[in-house]
Amino acid sequence: MGIVTVSHSNVLDCLNNPSPRTLGRSPLEWLDRLRRPTVVRVAGRDRSRTRAMSTLLHGNEPSGLFALHRWLLEQHTPEVNMVFLLGGVYPAKIPPMLSLRQLPDGLDLNRCFKEPFDGEEGAIAQAMLAELRKAKPECLLDVHNTSGTGPAFAVTITNDAAHQALTSLYTDRLIMTDLRLGALMEYSEQEVPTVTIECGGSQDEQAHQLAYEGLVRYTSRPDVLSLEKAEWDVAVLRNPIRVELDPEATIEYRLEPSGHADLTFPPDIEHRNFGVVSPDEPLGWIGDKGLGILTAISHNRAEDVEQVLQVKDGQIYPAQDIKAFMITTNPVIAKSDCLFYAVKATGEPIF
């Protein structure tokens, strides 16, 4: 079957048990066939239970799409009913495909899962939430790629056995945050275990393979919420600081500063992801405006960049031993989202 229905005022298309002939030969061919954000439903052996997975919330993060396309082509029968949500179809389809995080002048869809649901992205987020409320899943995964190269990790707003068990389907690193940004991950507050999975870089074949293998584990196991069945011990990092760049500031990625940018990072800065950086290891170079172009925001909205970073002789260093992640070399993401997140080297909050 490949039944297509339209719901929520033409916001979402729905595919029920799609057959391989409707999926195209490749993920890009399937994406080309999708007309709008789409819900895919696949019946499971146990029709009394449902799990959900969202992916492609950002149009330049393909691992979840690749994994789902492969899984659907292979015609797996899941242990329970599955609901898959593909949110960022519009930006993903703009040529070159899978290159834009969001529509030009559009909103970040993964910041729109809260009132007032503004704009087209707000309408998509609201329709996705309505699908979840209707499906009543026992758990929800939101599969992404990191904005830079680096190891996989998970993010949640709740740290308990169920969330660690879901994390362990993909990785052994879990970030627990109290910061609220309007992300789909906050669906956990509806008392449904919800975890964001960051599979690794969008161009990394290992990230695509991890997304697929995790999806197979998620859909094939009778119990995915029991920590006793987890394959790895999960290391938890708590309430990272979010370091943001002023929207008017400039950033370059160069081996040496040109003198024209407010902040310069080396091109291989991504290699710092999840490594410990000490106060005597420079991260990059800062311009004449100093640390004033940066903001460090904690989970409770407190701001204190000088607890995270310091400047010595025009170079920028950690103010203490830190573990940084989500470092990107994409200047657009660095300005529109954030430069990186950081915790103490011990995994505890910086402040």
pLDDT in tens, 155-198: 999 999 999 999 999 999 999 999 899 999 999 999 999 999 99
- Are 3 and 20 spatial neighbours (Cβ–Cβ below 8 Å)? no
Crossing angle of helices 205-220 and 63-73, rounded to 10°: 50
Per-residue confidence at 298, pLDDT binned at 50, 70, 90? very high
pLDDT of residue 148: 81
Give the number of residues written for the chain: 351
pLDDT at 9 over 90: no
Spatial neighbors of 312 by CB under 8 A, at least 6 apart, are none
Is 60 exceeded by the pLDDT of residue 226?
yes
Whether residue 250 has pLDDT greater than 70: yes
Of 128, 99, 110, nearest in space to 196 by CA: 110
- Sign of the CA dihedral running 187, 173, 160, 226: positive
Q: Report the alpha-carbon distance of residue 65 to residue 202 in Å, rounded.
A: 11
Q: What percent of the chain has pLDDT over 70?
A: 96
Three-state SS across the chain? CCEEEEECCCCEEEEECCCHHHCCCCHHHHHHHCCCCEEEEECCCEEEEEEEEEECCCCCCCHHHHHHHHHHHCCCCCCEEEEEEECCHHHHHCCCCCCCCCCCCCCCHHHCCCCCCCHHHHHHHHHHHHHHHHHCCCCEEEEEEECCCCCCEEEECCCCHHHHHHHCCCCCEEEECCCCCCCHHHHHHHCCCEEEEEEEECCCHHHHHHHHHHHHHHHHCCCCCCHHHCCCCCEEEECCEEEEECCCCCEEECCCCCCCCCEEECCCHHHHCCCEECCCCCCEEECCCHHHHEEEECCCCCECHHHCEEEECCEEEECCCEEEECCCCCHHHHHHCCCEEEEECCCCCCC
Chain centre distance of CA 276:
22
pLDDT band at residue 6 using 50, 70 and 90 as cut-offs: very low
pTM equals 0.90
Instruction: State the average pLDDT over residues 126-131.
Output: 97
Taking a C-beta distance cutoff of 8 angstroms, is the pair 238, 326 a contact? no
Residue 301 predicted with pLDDT over 90: no
Task: Check whether 53 has a pLDDT greater than 80.
Answer: yes
